[in-house]
Amino acid sequence: MPRSAWLRSRGVLAAPTAPEKVKVSLTLDKELVDDVREHFGGHALSTVVNELLHAAMAQERLAELVEEMIEESGPPSQEDYDRVWAEWLAE
Amino acid sequence: MPWASVVLDSQGLWSVAQNDDGKIKALLDESSRAGVPVLVSAAVLAETLFGDKRDARVNQVLKKVEVVPVTGVIARSAVKLKRDAGAAGVSATIDAVVVATSEAAGGGVILTSDPKDIRALADCVAGRRIRPVLVS
């Protein structure tokens, strides 16, 4: 399960009130739906698809933010990546 | 997945909005590629925003990241962290909420200008790796 969907399922990203729902009709790949049902068995398909769409949108928005930042001020250097990893791995 | 989440404190959020630090871009780029969520506590919004046009750049960033509510679980976790770290005051409360938010998200990176205080609180979290990354 994508990280955002996992956080939402644990209530970390839950909205304070239940969001309004809308009923839609979708046509999806049967193999994909079977896979989703098997992978997330026990959860309603609507709930799983809802969480996965939230996660996909969050990823899309973050990618847009990074693109905009790079467009505005250029890409990060290899040294920038190295510094991030060094701080993450520091004891 | 490199780290489970990225949580921004007030200066972290401001620095993303200012976009003048290559390290932040590198962190967000790595996170984006790995599907790692970037989170901001609602408490940080209260601390950071002015409520006027000075918020414009920050508001642009807030459209692209996820705002996490201060739930009862997170608030109580923050209280415990404050107590365990021997911290007090409003600033420490916000820092503790930031660290508790990271804890709830499974740990990860906290983008901050105050790594020492964040580290002191993060060291009180059991079973999660939480590391501050310094913004300039």
Paired strand residues for B133: B111
Query: Do residues B135 and B113 make contact, with C-beta atoms less than 8 angstroms apart?
Result: yes
Q: What is the ipTM of this complex?
A: 0.92
**In A, residues 34-63, which contact B (CB 8 Å cutoff)?**
55, 58-59, 61-63
Burial of A4 from C-beta contacts in 10 A (0-12 / 13-18 / 19+): buried
Mean pLDDT of all residues in B111-129: 94
Amino acid letter for position A86: A
Is residue B101 over pLDDT 80?
yes
Q: Give the C-alpha separation, B68 to B78, whole Å.
A: 14
Q: Please provide the average confidence, as pLDDT, over all residues in chain B.
A: 95
How many other CB atoms sit within 10 Å of the CB of residue A6?
A: 17
pLDDT at site A43: 86
Chain A nearest CA to B88, separation (Å): 25
Q: What number of CA atoms fall less than 13 Å from residue A7's CA on the CB side?
A: 30
Q: What is the pLDDT of residues B50-87, one digit of tens each?
A: 999 999 999 999 999 999 999 999 999 999 999 999 99
CB within 8 Å: A3 and B37? yes
Task: State the pLDDT at residue A14.
Answer: 67
Using pLDDT thresholds of 50, 70 and 90, give the confidence band for residue A4. confident
Give the whole-angstrom CA distance, residue B41 versus residue A71: 27
pLDDT digits (tens, 9 = 90+) for B13-22: 999 999 999 9
User: Which residue of A58, A62, A87 is in closest CB contact with B134?
Assistant: A87
Pick A62's closest partner by Cβ from B2, B65, B71.
B65
* C-alpha to C-alpha distance for B17 and B62, rounded to whole angstroms: 9
Q: Which of A12, A69, A90 sits opposite B104 (nearest CB)?
A: A12
Question: What are the tens digits of pLDDT across the range A18-66?
Answer: 788 999 999 999 999 999 999 988 789 999 999 899 999 999 999 999 9
pLDDT at A69: 97
Runs of H (alpha helix) within chain A: 3-9, 30-39, 45-73, 78-89
In chain A, residues with a C-beta closer than 8 Å to the C-beta of B104 are: 7, 10, 12
- Residue A6 pLDDT: 75
